[in-house]
Chain A
Amino acid sequence: MDNTFQLEIVTPSRLLVKAAAEEAQIPGLNGYLGILPGHAPLITELAVGVITYKANDATHTLAVAWGFMEVLPDKVTILAEAAERPQEIDVERAQKAKDRAEQRLKSNDPQVDYRRAEDALQRAETRLNVAKDK
């Protein structure tokens, strides 16, 4: 058997990635999952984080924010709410979002929805991290 699996990443607006990957690391809700060809069938929700996959001896990274994934032995499909390649990330916007979220978290305003602010912060930080690997 061939030592790759089909990887597809779909976002609401388009099919982002369709590649034969050798391995992938995916941020599941309960922690990162490493996936190699022949993985047991699995369905999981994704967290905010970085998807890394290896295809044709090159490593690719993507920032992802919520989604879910189906793993089959020869195929992995990821439905991501938002996924971006490093070169597509708007660094300025992410930085602004990060600053805003940090400010909210620091303020002692009872009206602030902390969970939302934390999520926003995490998303922004992930984007910035991924953008660095360009």
Chain B
Amino acid sequence: MANILDIRRRIRSVVNTRQITKAMKTVSAAKLRRAQESALAARPYLQMLTNVLKSLVSRVDIYDPVTGLPRHPLLAERPENNILLIVVTGDKGLAGAFNTNILKMVAKFIAKTIESKPDRNIDVECIGRKGRDFMRRRYPIAPERTSSADGATGVSPVPPGAEAVLPRAGRVQIVGEHVGVLGKVGHNFANTLSQSVIARYTRGEIDGVYILFNEFKSVMAQRLVAERLLPIKEIGEVDVLMAEEASLEERKKRIEAAKSAGVGVRPSDTSAADEAAAKFGTSPVDYIYEQPPHQLFQEILPKYIGIQIFHALLESVAAEHAARMTAMDAATANASDMIDSLTLIMNRARQAKITKEIIEIVSGAAAQ
């Protein structure tokens, strides 16, 4: 029979744990709310940028009239021999299966990519500590570059035949690690990353750029996606290659957690703002262009990639907080269950002890 004192001690420890998980849940809920707001606040900019690009497309001859090929290097498709994968995970754990799910998908993505074309090279950029740790255990880090041309803004077309040949550490290698940038997602970071990605793309080191992250439209609408950033097939269209919806059960849990934490489940109404943003740059009037449209186009296109990365980061952060909130809600419920069953065991043990004592007294009295 378990010692009453031991059980009592365990109950106390579980109560303490429950307090912590509860606090973590509240914190995550508050952070989620903020992340949701900032993701929402960032929408008009993306929308407007997309619109301007779209309306410019009709004015600029992006496609060469003779060959029918796109003129801008970022729009040109070429055989994907080397691809870059940007993996967005969280910096911290205790968020249920959030990081695991993304990393599972990454593994699947890499396996599939290599399977379809065995001599393909994959470069990986990790954003978030958890993803970095996972990738480091599996894949080597790329050898140090000798030329520090990375990150330069000078975008020059690739000279034919001058393919950059860099020593590789392996078929799949880690080329970049970004840890601790998710606490406060800055547009600057996204922009710097996109500039370096674009530079590598235009130099011909990579032929395709994909980003894997947890999409977050609302607490209800979340999924894991692999999107293609480069080359751009069609402006304003998201090019999703792989997507995984959460299971129904998982979604139910999320909704429950969100309700108990007082976070809105449905996306806030943004239709008015979206509508206003959709009008940007598309009025049926003849604009005066201060710069030639193709120059504007050249300038805006790289920003478009930057803002897409920025959005992916914002959404991933929101999703991470939502996942943590759900996990902590479940943990709190589990702790409560455990306390209940332990209390029951303790009461039973105490009753058994009392009964035993009474029997001893009674039988002692009867013996005299």
Contacts and interface: CB of A to CB of B under 8 A. Distances in A.
A13 B38 CA distance: 7
Contacts of A129: none
A45 B296 contact: yes
A77 B299 contact: no
Contact of A30 (B52, B290, B296): B290
A45 B299 CA distance: 9
A11 B45 CA distance: 6
Nearest to A15: B44
A43 B42 contact: no
Nearest to B191: A81
A68 B290 CA distance: 11
Contacts of B287: 41-43, 70
Interface in B347-361: none
Contact of B45 (A12, A41, A45, A72): A12
A79 B283 contact: no
Contacts of A70: 52, 280-281, 287
B42 A13 contact: yes
Interface in B262-297: 280-281, 283, 285-291, 295-296
B150 to A, nearest CB: 12
Contacts of A15: 41, 44
A11 B252 CA distance: 35
Q: Which of A12, A14, A79 is packed against the most chain B CB atoms within 10 Å?
A: A12
Interface in B284-314: 285-291, 295-296, 299-300, 303, 307, 310
Given A14-B42, A45-B296, A116 B153 contact: yes
Nearest to B276: A8
A13 B303 CA distance: 14
A29 B45 contact: no
B285 A72 contact: yes
B253 to A, nearest CB: 31
Contact of A10 (B48, B191, B283, B310): B48
A43 B281 contact: yes
A33 to B, nearest CB: 8
Interface residues of B, number: 30
Given A70-B281, A72-B285, A77-B48, A42 B290 contact: yes
A113 B152 contact: yes
B95 interface: no
Interface residues on A, range: 20 to 34
Contacts of B44: 10, 15
Interface in A1-20: 10-15
A69 to B, nearest CB: 9
Interface string B36-75: 0010011011101100100000000000000000000000
Contact of A44 (B46, B286, B289): B289
A81 B52 CA distance: 15
B285 A13 contact: no
B217 interface: no
Contacts of A12: 42, 45-46, 187, 307, 310
Interface centre among B152, B281, B286, B290 (most CB of A within 10 A): B290
Interface string A50-94: 000000000000000000101010000101011000000000000
A43 B290 contact: yes
Contacts of A11: 45, 187
B280 A29 contact: no
Contact of B290 (A13, A14, A28, A113): A28
A44 B299 CA distance: 11
A14 B48 contact: no
Interface of B: 38, 41-42, 44-46, 48-49, 52, 152-153, 187, 191, 280-281, 283, 285-291, 295-296, 299-300, 303, 307, 310
Interface of A: 10-15, 28-30, 40-45, 68, 70, 72, 77, 79, 81-82, 113, 116
User: 7 nearest interchain CB pairs?
Assistant: A44-B290, A14-B41, A12-B187, A42-B288, A41-B285, A43-B287, A41-B287
5 contacts: A13-B38, A14-B42, A15-B44, A41-B285, A72-B283
